[in-house]
Structure 1
C-alpha cells in the first residue's frame, strides 16, 4: 500500500508539513512526517556528527521498521539532499521521489553553488548550528504568509545542524540511478532558482508542476500541494 513520507528542510521540523499532511490524511492516505535529528523538537539533541547521511539513515530506518513499501518520498528545501541519500539507501521501498522547491545538487556541487544570499544579511551561527535571524524570517522567508500563520511558523523555527548541508559524494549514488520523480517549483521563491529545478527535472525526466507560492507551499497552499501529491498515486 502506497504511503507518503514528508521530509522537511533547514530550520524546520515535522511541523512545517502539518497543513498538507492533514489534507492528505483527510483524503484517506497514510502519511509519515518525521523530524530530522537536531531539528525542530529534537533541537536539544544537537551535537557534532549530524550529517546528511546520518539524517538519511533515520529516514531509511523508518521505512524499514514501519515495513513501508511503495513510498512516495517528498522533500522540500535542503530536505532534498536527505531524501536523495535516503532513497538510495532504501531503493526497493521507494516508488517516487518528489522535490517541492527542493535542492538536489549534482556530484561535486555544493548548496552554496546553488543558493544565493545577500552576504550582508545577518545570520545566527554557533559552533554546531546556523540559521536566519528573526528579522529575516519575518520579512523574507515567511514574508508571504498571513500574520497569524507567520507568527506560528516563526515561533517554531530552530537553527540547523551546521554539518548537515554539504557532504562530498553523498548524492552520487542517487544520480547514478533512474527514478520516478516529480518537481514542484514555487514561482514566488528565489531559492532554489528556476534553472536548478529545471535541471533536476531534465536530468531525472521528472513530471513538472508549478505553484503560485513562495518557498513554503505546504503552509501557504496546502490544498494545491496536496492535490498534486494525491495525483501521483
Structure 2
C-alpha cells in the first residue's frame, strides 16, 4: 500500500480529485485530497493574508497530523510550488514528488517568476474593487473549454468548485534550502494536445536534482486531467507506488 497526497491547483478544491481517489483506493492505496485554506469547505476563510505559506502549512499539517511517511506527493498546476515547499520542510516524509502539469520552481521564485503570464492576473486584480483577489480563469472557446474541460456537465461541476485566489499566494517565494529535499525522486506529468497560447511550461532538465535521469510522462488531455481522464491518470500514478 502506498500513500498518495493529492494537492489541487489554484481556484480548485480537493473535490476535483473525486474521480481519481476511488480508483487509487480500490487498488489498495491510502489517498488524501484536502482542500487548501480558502477553498472547498473552507472558502469562508479566504482573506488577503492567505498565501503560499498558508498552503504549505495546510499540507504539512496533514502529513504530520496523520504521521504519514513515504508519501507520494502530487501537486497540480500552481500546487507545484506548494509541494516543492512541503518537501523542503519535511523531506524525510516524502517518498516521491509528482508535478502534474505543474509549476516547478527553484529557490526564491514566486508563481510570477515560474509563469510570467500570472503577472497579468495580478494587474487585473489591482484594477478591480478587490485588488487582493484573483478570479478564476474564464472559459475558452473549444477545444480548450474550462481548464481543458469541455463536457457541459463536467464544466458545470468544475465551475461550481472554483473560488478566487489571493494575490499573496502568487507573490510569496518558495524556500528550497534543505539539501535533503534534492534526494527525493521526481516525476513530471505533462498534459499535452490541448496547449493554450501564451501558457508555456519550462523544459524539464535532463537530470533530476538527485542525479538520476529525469522522469517525464505525458497524458493526452487538457489541464484538468483528473476530471477528463481520471482512469489514465490513476493508472499512471499507480506505477509510482
Cα deviation 1:37-72 (Å, max 9, x = unaligned): 112221211123222122112211211110111110
- Count of residue pairs the alignment pairs up: 230
The residue that corresponds to 1:198 in the other structure is 204
The residue that corresponds to 1:52 in the other structure is 52
Query: 2:159 aligned to 146, 154, 158, which one?
Result: 154
Q: Which runs of 5+ in 1 are unaligned?
A: none
Structure 1 CA distance for aligned equivalents of residues 73 and 137 of structure 2: 30
TM-score of the two chains, using structure 1 as the length reference: 0.86
Is the 2:17–2:226 Cα contact (8 Å) retained in structure 1? yes
The residue that corresponds to 1:219 in the other structure is 227
Is the 1:73–1:97 Cα contact (8 Å) retained in structure 2? yes
What secondary structure sits across from 1:98 in the alignment? strand
TM-score of the two chains, using structure 2 as the length reference: 0.84
Q: Which runs of 5+ in 2 are unaligned?
A: none
The residue that corresponds to 2:10 in the other structure is 10
Residues 1:208 and 2:216 aligned together: yes
When you count helix as a share of all residues, which structure comes out higher? 1
Is the 2:185–2:208 Cα contact (8 Å) retained in structure 1? no
Residues 1:129 and 2:136 aligned together: no
Counting only pairs closer than 5 Å after superposition, residues 39-188 of structure 1 correspond to structure 2 as 39-115=39-115, 117=117, 126-132=130-136, 134-136=138-140, 140-173=145-178, 177-187=182-192, 188=194
* CA root-mean-square deviation: 2.8
